[in-house]
Structure 1
Amino acid sequence: MGKMFRLFYLTLFCHLLVGCAVQKTSDKPYYENLATHRPKVTLPSENTSKDTANQTKVIAVVTPTHHVNAKVDAVLDSIDRYNQVRKFVDGYTIQIYSGQNREQAMEAKKKMTSDLPEYTANLQYQQPKFRVTVGRYFTKLEAHPDLVKLRSSFTAAILVPEKIPVR
């Protein structure tokens, strides 16, 4: 066991000595000749450029053999039918009040309509609490500017997920 510790410390000491060695620095800027790796390019003469300008290039039209248009149309039709049946979409709303006191909920709604008349507040009762919410948004990014405005008046305003009815 003692030999292993000695060997470990000896190895550690050797690495320490190698790591502390003086590094050589160069005052010369880096230079490497890459001419051997560059491709050789020849410029066309002036006579050939005039001839190529008059010529038109013919492109062959290839008809597809393994196209999936019918399958894609069937999938898109099924997605469209599913979207027509859906009644709700996952989205977000801003909650400015949540609690059991109806008077405080009505007060929050009244403050909301007086301070920020451009927004419409909704008072909801979901037993056992009252909620005052503002707006319906499909993404958090869409709701963020309104949330920042509402937080100036309602510091407890939060963004909550909610099902948005589709019309």
Structure 2
Amino acid sequence: MKRSLVAILLLVTLMSSCALFKKSGAKADEFAGYSEDISGERITFPDLSEQAKKVNEEAPKPGEGAVDEDLEYALRTFKDKNKSERYWNGFTVLVYSGVDRDQAFKTRDELHEKFTDIKPEMQYQQPRYLVKVGKFINRVEAQPDYHTLKEKFPTVRIIQDRFQREGYVNPEPVEDVERPD
């Protein structure tokens, strides 16, 4: 009984104390005459038609500010850089890969007979022989040859390969020269 009486008394005290606190802050009536001018701080944009006229007037005339010379220079340096590299990465169509030398020569001869427009190359990478067709920059370029050869040679596949660049010129070796003391 004592406990319930203490609980009721505590509850009544809490309820009555909440009414004692008043809200802090000003009343709305105090700000009734307030006004603020922020027009000086606002961003303004010019009329769109005026902007279009300015752009048309400032547009460069044909031939003025062209990047043709820069583009030619960039292409020339890109081409020179590629020529200085001995190998390039690409794709080839692998027709035969195996250790049987006779089978490799037979496959190469069949390619010569049946597909006269395709030139096969034969390589020996110990211990296997490879018969390859074509040098392509990307896989999509190799697809036509792949599909043509797939009918006759079912094991044909497209593989990544490295090719020696045609027209590659070895840089001149640096000679050892004695320095004067």
TM-score, length basis structure 1: 0.55
Cα deviations by residue, 1:126-148 (Å, 9 ceiling, x for unpaired) = 11100011111111111101100
1:144 correspondence with 2:143: yes
CA distance in 1, matches of 2:120, 2:164: 17
Name the CA shift for 1:73/1:128 in 2 (closer, same or farther; >3 Å).
Answer: same
Cα deviations by residue, 1:104-158 (Å, 9 ceiling, x for unpaired) = 1011111111111111111110111000111111111111011000001100001
CA distance in 1, matches of 2:84, 2:112: 35
Amino acid at match of 1:108: T
CA distance in 1, matches of 2:109, 2:120: 9
Aligned-pair Cα RMSD in Å? 3.0
Name the CA shift for 1:73/1:105 in 2 (closer, same or farther; >3 Å).
Answer: closer
CA distance in 2, matches of 1:115, 1:58: 64
Name the CA shift for 1:76/1:135 in 2 (closer, same or farther; >3 Å).
Answer: closer
Name the structure 1 match of 2:89.
Answer: 90
1:163 correspondence with 2:131: no
Q: For 1:1-167, what aligned pairs fall within 5 Å after superposition?
A: 59-61=56-58, 79-167=78-166
Name the CA shift for 1:73/1:121 in 2 (closer, same or farther; >3 Å).
Answer: closer
Identity across matched positions, percent: 24
CA distance in 2, matches of 1:107, 1:92: 23
CA distance in 2, matches of 1:157, 1:136: 15
Name the CA shift for 1:143/1:72 in 2 (closer, same or farther; >3 Å).
Answer: closer
Unaligned runs of 5+ in 1: 1-56
Per mean C-alpha deviation after superposition, the further-off stretch among 79-88 and 146-155 is 79-88
Once the two structures are TM-superposed, the CA of residue 81 in structure 1 deviates from its matched residue by 3.8
Is the partner of 1:107 in helix, strand or coil? helix
Structure number with greater Rg is 2
The alignment covers a number of residue pairs equal to 107
Cα deviations by residue, 1:28-59 (Å, 9 ceiling, x for unpaired) = xxxxxxxxxxxxxxxxxxxxxxxxxxxxx994
